[in-house]
Structure 1
């Protein structure tokens, strides 16, 4: 009986919240890896890699948007990109912690964060219909539905 009184699970905690929390934490880990990769590579290696990708895609790295992108890669802009990526990772980890602990603010953060992408995903599906676009939209709709349902249950 003693162990039961110490363990009082949150009535809002359910597998859907935990699954989304793991998904968000995974996105945070990927963002950390991306930031580390950017920091490790540095601007020169990044420019060289993008130049090679442009050539393979038959884009002219000397003119147009590719040239502008390559010119924009410098230590300062790379530092900003790393900082933004780290902030994104921190936000994903905070959201994951809130969802894992079944906090209402975690559900709000996740629901709003996922819903923001829906118009862009709908546009992508209409502009370039395919399984990937449909799958991304379906997963995001599922996340919004699960978190919205959690928030509605909390209001009752």
Structure 2
């Protein structure tokens, strides 16, 4: 028969071994848990960084598109101003020509722009400067429409 004291000691030792085994398992698990936590934290940071980059990229593209739109808008404005100046010059030319009285030193072979633009079509004479003016006006209208479309396109959300 086994001494009860020995039996208690064995039970105590078994309990200690079990506790030690649990502590050892925990010690082995803790570094792995730390590694897993670090990896999860790194993963979250990378996902956040990726999300920020995705947000920045459309903003950058939108900003670039706005810059290009503004450049086009300014160029179209300059072109419209030039066309309007040309129209005013064309409109002013016939007045200047009629007010100009030829002198005896004028070259009889001199051909003015308006005179060279006259074309005879049947019984009617057409002044090409008028056609040119109409083309300029049409061009201005087209440019205004184009600017309007670009402005509307700029207002669309991306």
TM-score range, shorter chain: 0.3 to 0.5
Query: Which protein is richer in strand relative to its size?
Result: 2
Q: Which has the higher contact order (CA 8 A, sep 6+)?
A: 1
Q: TM-score, normalised by structure 2?
A: 0.38
